[in-house]
Amino acid sequence: LPLATCLAGFLPASLLLIVAYLFMLGSGLLLVEVYLYFDDHISFGTMAKRTLGPIGETLCWFLFLFLFYSLLIA
């Protein structure tokens, strides 16, 4: 990622990486909060179903499949 943003300059590239890090940190902390809310050991699909309903579970599975497909292509 630093090589892709080097044309923008050091400060904008650093700012972009810090914003991306903060976004990942926030989403990770929210995921931990939802995981600790439930007593039993559950998966992403179960967490999505219990908190967002069946539409959220379907969206979660679609996003997982999209992520794995993207990793397969890369």
pLDDT tens-place string over residues 2-35 = 677 778 888 888 898 899 999 999 999 998 998 8
Total-model pTM:
0.67
Question: Which tokens go with 66?
Answer: 């999209």
Alpha carbon of residue 1 to chain centroid: 17
Residues with Cβ within 8 Å of 41's Cβ and at least 6 positions away in sequence, in order, are none
Give the type of residue at 54: P
Task: Calculate mean pLDDT across residues 63-68.
Answer: 92
Mean pLDDT score across all residues of the chain: 88
Contact in structure between 49 and 59 (CB atoms under 8 Å): no
**Residue 52: how many CB atoms within 10 A of its CB?**
13
Confidence of residue 1 (pLDDT cuts 50, 70, 90): low
Confidence of residue 45 (pLDDT cuts 50, 70, 90): confident
Task: Calculate mean pLDDT across residues 28-47.
Answer: 87
